[in-house]
């Protein structure tokens, strides 16, 4: 999206192997995290990313073990605080590529406040929120994204509270880049690339299958047999079509909502199907709010409208204010209301 990023950063040639650490991966066999890890390790060489300038920052939870498995700099922090740590990293050294790996509990429950503020400030980074709608590492309690009625050790009779919608939360917080994919989707690398190339905070929700505590909770759209009707992959400048082009998304002008329309003989114009414009914030709001079931799951880059990033603004203001001033400690400590004591006494 933003050419500046790719132009100013020198490309470094690496291969997938260069991004693998010698640490044994400790996720459950069959966990969706494996696929995401591979997708990231496959994408980084394509981006020309430099391992020495790459920092993965995570919080706590299954997803947050991620940094241990990527051969770059990595910081496994404390529960929910990865965005805050990442903000310090990026402000201290804006040259670094900062990736945040978090989950639905880490990023939306205990760390919801930090997620909101990093998006509002628009720190240049990639935020990968692995959403499995469950607390995995603490053995299966329901999470803030769990659907109503989720039975778990802490909600044996079903959860009664309403789930948060990560992308709607992010957009509401002021995010300038919203994308969505799932762990094994073949488009995930493309989504990651777009997130990397976006200058500013790029929020990516990745549906992730927790095979132990919340198995197949996304099967309604991720399973091959449900993919056609269940997935709407958006692409900038292209009509919002799904079900092999037989259906599309149009604007219900009366209700000011979206609606599913039939597309006859490929004539989507006639069906008034919306052409995806990644910079259209209003449509992005509607896409992330589409109730699944009545609508397909909108996937891909849903919104991408860059704006000045936080660390750029900080660096610029700091530089401007420091311009023409030479740091002089002696002068600094001598400021304020001063007087001189001589043998004749004090004087201004």
Partner 1 sequence: MASAASTSTIPVSSEEAAPEAVVVRFAGDSGDGMQLTGGQFTLSTALAGNDLATFPDFPAEIRAPQGTLFGVSAFQINFGSSEITTAGDAPDILIAMNPAALKTNVVDLKPGGLIIADTGEFNDRNLAKAKYESNPLEDGSLARWQVLAFDISALTLESVKPFGLGNKEALRSKNMWTLGLALWMFDRSRQPIIDWLKAKFAKAPEIADANIAALNAGHAYGETAELAAPLKQLHVAPAPAPEGLYRTVTGAEAISLGLVAGAQLANLPMFFGGYPITPASAILHHLSRLKEYGVTTFQAEDEIAAIASTIGASYAGSLGVTSSSGPGIALKGEAMGLAIMTELPLVIVNSQRGGPSTGLPTKTEQSDLYQAVYGRNGDAPMPVIAARSPADAFDCAIEACRIAIEYMTPVMLLTDGYIANAAEPWKVPDMSGYAPFPVKFLEAVPEGGLKPYSRNEKLARPWIKPGTPDLMHRIGGIEKEVNTGHINYAPANHQAMTELRRDKVLGIAKGLRQEVSLGEESGKLVVVGWGSTYGPIHQAVRRARRKGLDVSHVHIRHIWPLPENLGELLKAYEMILVPEMNTGQLKTVLRDQYLVDARPLNKISGQPFRIAEIEAAIEGMLA
Report the residue from 42, 76, 259, 285 that binds partner 1 according to the rule CB under 8 A.
76
Shortest Å, Cβ 311 to partner 1: 10
User: Which stretch in 161-169, 190-198, 300-308, 313-321 sits in contact with partner 1 by CB under 8 A?
Assistant: 313-321
User: Which stretch in 40-48, 108-116, 204-212, 259-267 sits in contact with partner 1 by CB under 8 A?
Assistant: 108-116
- Total number of residues binding partner 1 (CB under 8 A)? 62
Residues forming beta bridges with residue 252, ordered by sequence position: 257
Q: Angle CA(59)–CA(65)–CA(71) in degrees, nearest 5?
A: 110
Q: Which is nearer to partner 1, 60 or 287 (CB)?
A: 60
Q: Which is nearer to partner 1, 12 or 211 (CB)?
A: 12
**Which residues touch 325 (CB under 8 Å, ≥6 apart)?**
none
Q: What sign has the CA pseudo-torsion 224, 226, 230, 232?
A: positive
The span from the CA of 110 to the CA of 222, in Å, is 28
Report the residue from 116, 171, 175, 241 that binds partner 1 according to the rule CB under 8 A.
116
Is residue 138 within the footprint of partner 1 (CB under 8 A)? Answer: no
Which strand (E) or helix (H) includes residue 318? helix 310-322
Q: What are phi and psi of 57, to 5 degrees?
A: -120, 135
Shortest Å, Cβ 204 to partner 1: 21
**Which residues touch 172 (CB under 8 Å, ≥6 apart)?**
none
The span from the CA of 266 to the CA of 277, in Å, is 20
Is residue 92 within the footprint of partner 1 (CB under 8 A)? Answer: yes
Contact criterion met (CB below 8 Å) for 296 and 248: no
Shortest Å, Cβ 327 to partner 1: 5
The span from the CA of 295 to the CA of 272, in Å, is 17
Report the residue from 81, 176, 198, 199 that binds partner 1 according to the rule CB under 8 A.
81
Is residue 333 within the footprint of partner 1 (CB under 8 A)? Answer: yes
Q: Taking Cα atoms as reference points, which of 195, 284, 196, 274 lies closest to residue 240?
A: 274
Is residue 77 within the footprint of partner 1 (CB under 8 A)? Answer: yes
Residues forming beta bridges with residue 300, ordered by sequence position: 180
Q: Angle CA(282)–CA(284)–CA(285) in degrees, nearest 5?
A: 65
Is residue 42 within the footprint of partner 1 (CB under 8 A)? Answer: no
Is residue 8 within the footprint of partner 1 (CB under 8 A)? Answer: no
Is residue 165 within the footprint of partner 1 (CB under 8 A)? Answer: no
Q: Which is nearer to partner 1, 157 or 339 (CB)?
A: 339
Q: Which is nearer to partner 1, 151 or 331 (CB)?
A: 331
Q: Taking Cα atoms as reference points, which of 305, 247, 304, 299 lies closest to residue 274?
A: 247
Is residue 321 within the footprint of partner 1 (CB under 8 A)? Answer: yes
The span from the CA of 263 to the CA of 271, in Å, is 6
Q: Which is nearer to partner 1, 3 or 338 (CB)?
A: 338
Residues forming beta bridges with residue 179, ordered by sequence position: 204, 301
Shortest Å, Cβ 124 to partner 1: 14
Contacting positions for partner 1 (CB under 8 A):
21, 23, 51-53, 55, 57, 60, 67-68, 71-78, 81, 83-93, 95-96, 113-114, 116-117, 314, 317-318, 321-322, 325-327, 329-330, 332-343, 345-348
């Amino acid at each position: 999206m933003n050419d500046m990023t790719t132009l100013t950063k020198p490309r470094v040639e690496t291969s997938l192997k260069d991004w693998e650490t010698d640490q044994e991966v400790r996720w459950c066999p069959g966990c969706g995290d494996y696929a995401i890890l591979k997708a990231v390790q496959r994408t980084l060489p394509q981006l020309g990313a430099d391992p020495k300038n790459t920092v993965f920052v995570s919080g706590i939870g299954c997803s947050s073990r991620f940094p241990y498995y990527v051969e770059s700099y990595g910081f496994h922090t404390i529960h929910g605080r990865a965005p805050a740590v990442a903000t310090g990293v990026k402000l201290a050294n804006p040259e670094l590529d900062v990736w945040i790996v978090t989950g639905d509990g880490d990023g939306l429950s205990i760390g919801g406040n930090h997620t909101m503020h990093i998006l509002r400030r628009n720190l240049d980074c990639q935020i990968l929120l692995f959403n499995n709608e469950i607390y995995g590492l603490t053995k299966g309690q329901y999470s803030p994204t769990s659907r109503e009625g989720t039975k778990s050790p802490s909600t044996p009779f079903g959860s009664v509270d309403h789930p948060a919608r990560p992308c709607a939360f992010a957009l509401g917080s002021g995010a300038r880049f919203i994308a969505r994919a799932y762990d094994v989707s073949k488009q995930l690398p493309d989504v990651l690339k777009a997130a990397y190339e976006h200058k500013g905070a790029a929020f990516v929700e990745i549906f992730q299958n927790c095979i132990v505590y919340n198995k197949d909770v996304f099967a309604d759209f991720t399973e091959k047999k449900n993919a056609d009707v269940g997935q709407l992959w958006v692409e900038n400048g292209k009509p919002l079509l799904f079900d092999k082009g037989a259906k599309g998304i149009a604007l219900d002008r009366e209700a000011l909502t979206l609606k599913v329309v039939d597309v006859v003989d490929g004539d989507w114009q006639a069906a008034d199907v919306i052409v995806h414009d990644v910079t259209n914030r209003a449509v992005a709001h509607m896409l992330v709010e589409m109730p699944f079931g009545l609508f397909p799951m909108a996937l891909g880059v849903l919104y991408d409208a860059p704006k000045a990033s936080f660390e750029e603004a900080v660096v610029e203001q700091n530089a401007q204010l420091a311009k023409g001033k030479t740091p002089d400690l002696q002068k600094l400590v001598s400021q304020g209301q001063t007087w001189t004591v001589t043998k004749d006494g004090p004087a201004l």
